[in-house]
Structure 1
Amino acid sequence: MSKAKAIMVQGTSSDVGKSVICTALCRIFSNDGHHVVPFKSQNMALNSYITSTGGEIGRAQGVQAEAARVEATTDMNPILLKPKQDMVSEVIVHGKHHLDMDARRYRNDFVEQVMPIVRQSVEYLQKNYDIIVLEGAGSPAEINLKARDIANMRMAHLADAAVILVADIDRGGVFASIVGTLALLDESERARVKGLVINKFRGMRELLDDGLDWIEKETGIPVLGVIPYVDVQIDAEDSLALSSLRLKKPKQGEFVIDVAVLRLPRISNFTDIDPFFEEPGVGVRMVSKVEELATPDLLIIPGTKNTMDDLTWLRDCGFDEAIGQLKMRGTVIFGICGGYQILGQSLKDPEAIEGSGSIVEGLGLLPIDTIFVPNKKTVQMTGKLSASGLDVSGYEIHLGRSTRLGDVQPFAILQDGREDGAVSMDGNVIGTYLHGIFHNRLYTRIFINQLREQKGIKPLTLDVKSDAEQRDEAYEFLASHLRAHLDMDKLYSILHDTGKEIASQGY
């Protein structure tokens, strides 16, 4: 059996669009009839994806697997780091919690220990797919990190991948970033770079032509494409996306429904709020100061990687009193996962799972108690809403176990018989462990209509596309956009020129 061809997308810096370009390539190759698979050896992200077997991987690789029309597995992202505290991350190996580790210990001791695991995943993908689309992390030219970097050129060597170097022209200095990156690579690394891509372009293409000619002559590497900026509805990988255009504060009066989301310091899985951006008349704004809160129609307390610390931050900022006042004014308050725990009466951490080992009071808006336990629950889940019987699906990622106190209605009855979440007696405070709850588009439309009706605004039609349909349309749009601006003939030529035996370089 022949070994899979491999193409790797690396960037001159973080947030140049590597994940989105990999997603587009996965769909393009799939549309062209290839059995394609995404891969990222080590991912640091707070947005994760739960596989069908309960493995936790980076959300970007889960999305790319969907685009490639293959089932996501932990081989696509064998090492996931989830920042937990300053300089401390949860290390997830093949989808399961391994340990919490500080950055120095991870770099000095652990990186070499996990290389056999990473190598095994690459070899498995090479044997079972036609094309591997690898994604790098940050920049391959971080001099202080290169010796222990297992996410960039080391992976290109291991998979014998041609590297496409992507630069973000929107942030400025695009030519300097390309030349500087290449200058800091060693000879064998630079030889891997077979094409350049300039991403997030705005403006007149002809004004860029002289620069493109210069960069090709200067580097000897062809520019495969200039990709115009486009706002694509693809799940974000990490918190850098919180500063994107979609999350800038809207103008007052621009939307009839005002949704505020607490920007917790350790916010995670914030893709939960993405569907609101696509709801007509709904404005979404991130809030990190009490004075920014105003009186929204809906306040969302999202997931967090450290509930106890973020609850302390919330109190220190005065949000506890402000949220209580919002409830009295009729604002609907919705907590997801850690946000659900925060809404309860008490949080207990007897085994110092979150580092505190203490008992703290929650906001007391829902009659639940939460205790943190060592075993993380990670599972895809379906169920029915308690109030309406509507079918919903989502996924769970949590260490806490919450118990409802008294005769309070659960949010949903799950497929395994468990009762999830809680809803206050007046229905205005809601909590659930189900991430992705708002990706149930019919539920979200019904929910928004309830907010509209409370304000005397005509409800929207319930004829909505499913989340799967909307996601697939986004993948197709993204693939068409990239294909229109990328020299795919040249890219395929580069891809088919790879496949030589891996050089003996100690990898």
Structure 2
Amino acid sequence: MAKAIMLQGTSSHVGKSILTTALCRIFKQDGMKVTPFKAQNMALNSYVTKTGGEMGRAQVAQAEAAGLDPAVEMNPVLLKPTGNSCSQVIVMGKAVGNMSAKEYHAGYSLKALGVVTECIQKLHKDFDVIVIEGAGSPAEVNLKDNDIVNMRIAKLTPSPVLLIADIDRGGALASVVGTLELLEPAERDLVKGIIINKFRGDISLLQPALEFLEKKTGKPVVGVIPHLDRLGIDDEDSVSLEDKQHLAKAGELDIVVLRLPKISNFTDFDALANESDVRVRYVRQGEAIGKPDLIILPGSKNTTEDLLYLRQNGYEAELIKLAKSGTPVVGICGGYQMLGREVQDPDHTESDLDKVMGLGLIDSITIFEADKVTHQVKAMANNHNFLSINYSGENLTGYEIHMGRTQFLSSVDPAFTITTRSGQQMHMPDGAVSADGLVMGTYMHGIFDNDVYRRKVLDALRVRKGLAPLGAVSDTQALKDAAYNRLADVVRKSMDMDLVYRIMNESVGK
């Protein structure tokens, strides 16, 4: 039976995901076979595994930190908000339908507990250590009866719990004391330590507060983690886009990503933002697009509603004007669908609207269907003419997650040709590039994670701006791996890992 440790928080966005990632890398460095686990995740940032299953992006980063290929057993239930208190429910990587919050919490969540239990049992057999991430707060009394992600999982595993508080937002001591007070005695006993996260300043000034907290709660403070900026690690949800916006650096190239209300898979652009000559701006409602070197329409969990958002907020007219005056535009997945003439939803799989007019930058229509396409893919580019780069390259990698199928109303040049889809060889066109080479759409998430292709695009943008191409290709995977090691080093120095190991060892067999 594997040892386990669970990270829960006093609220959402206190750092559970990133500290789970850190522990996965630390245990890997210590020679253990470790896996992450989160029973239920709510996020629009998702990923497709080699077997075609969809899972939360945070667990993908945690798997990478653990040295593993991501698998849906690490995140058996994923909720993808679609709007109006409704989410698409994904179980073991496959969509089972859309449900309201009430339908899910009152009727379905406990039905999924059997699947969750099977995953835990499998992970216990296959690994030495399970690092478990909770969600929100375990003290949300209105949700506890149907909870399948916090204390019920701690009891089921069984696992000791470390409770995380974000001191940067203020009220950390009160949030810890209040959370523990609202737990049942048996649940409170499962909490074996406290972590103070995102601390800035002189830790000696915090010491009286730590002593108070330990005396008040009877729980040891396991660590005080400093505030970490620019980690270079994939984020879980759009809350972190505020951090990205705040941390956006200056760059010779200005790339705008339109921050749609239902933006998904914004990690598609992290590799661009990590380039030394690039600034990525996420343009929010009311902010100006300006005159960027490239505009990107990202993925969306609700293409029709996000199209209407662009129209109603003036971004559609601005974008079309910029495109017609020569500003390059890229659409990925939902953004690609928006570039066409029309999006049709006859079965109302995404909204109550039968159809919505698109931007008309590509001569296509997209029709939504009930079944969801989820594949890892490999692709090639043959004289790829976006930005006139005339690029030919093989073994480009990415993944597809979409409901709609796009049809062309006239002959177009494909952006790429898919050569492998979920392990099956094929020769299938993907996306489109406009005749002038300035508009591109693709269903391939992660296309900019391909290092050589990314630099080709960026150097073409540099030449258009009168700048010399850089040519040097950065290694995205090596940068990620270095980021996991940096994170692990900081957390190891900031936590009492000997105490963490004792807590885990004492809990085995209980």
2:228 corresponds to which letter in structure 1? V
Secondary structure of the corresponding residue to residue 390 of structure 1? strand
Please say if 1:479 is aligned against 2:482: no
CA contact (8 A) 1:42 1:151 kept: yes
- Aligned counterparts, 1:49-448, within 5 A: 49-231=47-229, 232-244=231-243, 246-248=244-246, 254-289=250-285, 292-386=288-382, 387=384, 388-391=391-394, 392-415=396-419, 416-448=426-458
Whole-angstrom distance in 2 between the partners of 1:463 and 1:100:
42
Q: CA deviation at 1:379?
A: 0.7
Q: CA deviation at 1:323?
A: 0.7
Aligned residues: 495
Q: CA deviation at 1:225?
A: 1.0
- Aligned counterparts, 1:447-458, within 5 A: 447-458=457-468
Flag structure 1 segments of 5+ consecutive residues without an equivalent: 502-507
2:406 corresponds to which letter in structure 1? S
Secondary structure of the corresponding residue to residue 402 of structure 2? strand
2:434 corresponds to which letter in structure 1? S
Runs of at least 4 residues off by over 4 Å: none
Q: CA deviation at 1:462?
A: 2.3
Whole-angstrom distance in 1 between the partners of 2:74 and 2:375:
18
Instruction: State the Cα deviation string for residues 39-95 of structure 1 (Å, max 9, x = none).
Output: 111100000111110000111111111111122211111111000121110000110
CA contact (8 A) 1:249 1:286 kept: no
Instruction: State the Cα deviation string for residues 163-206 of structure 1 (Å, max 9, x = none).
Output: 01111111111111111111111111110111111111111111
Q: CA RMSD in A?
A: 1.4
> Percent of aligned pairs with the same residue?
49
Q: CA deviation at 1:445?
A: 1.6
Distance change in 2, residues 1:384/1:11 (3 Å): same
TM-score (norm 2): 0.95
Please say if 1:468 is aligned against 2:471: no
Aligned to 1:495: 504
Whole-angstrom distance in 2 between the partners of 1:443 and 1:169:
41
Q: CA deviation at 1:249?
A: 7.9
Distance change in 2, residues 1:362/1:181 (3 Å): same
Q: CA deviation at 1:407?
A: 2.6
Aligned to 2:23: 25
Secondary structure of the corresponding residue to residue 320 of structure 1? helix
Whole-angstrom distance in 2 between the partners of 1:418 and 1:290:
40
Flag structure 2 segments of 5+ consecutive residues without an equivalent: 385-390, 420-425
Whole-angstrom distance in 2 between the partners of 1:111 and 1:277:
37
Q: CA deviation at 1:410?
A: 0.7
Aligned to 1:505: none
CA contact (8 A) 1:165 1:196 kept: yes
2:380 corresponds to which letter in structure 1? K
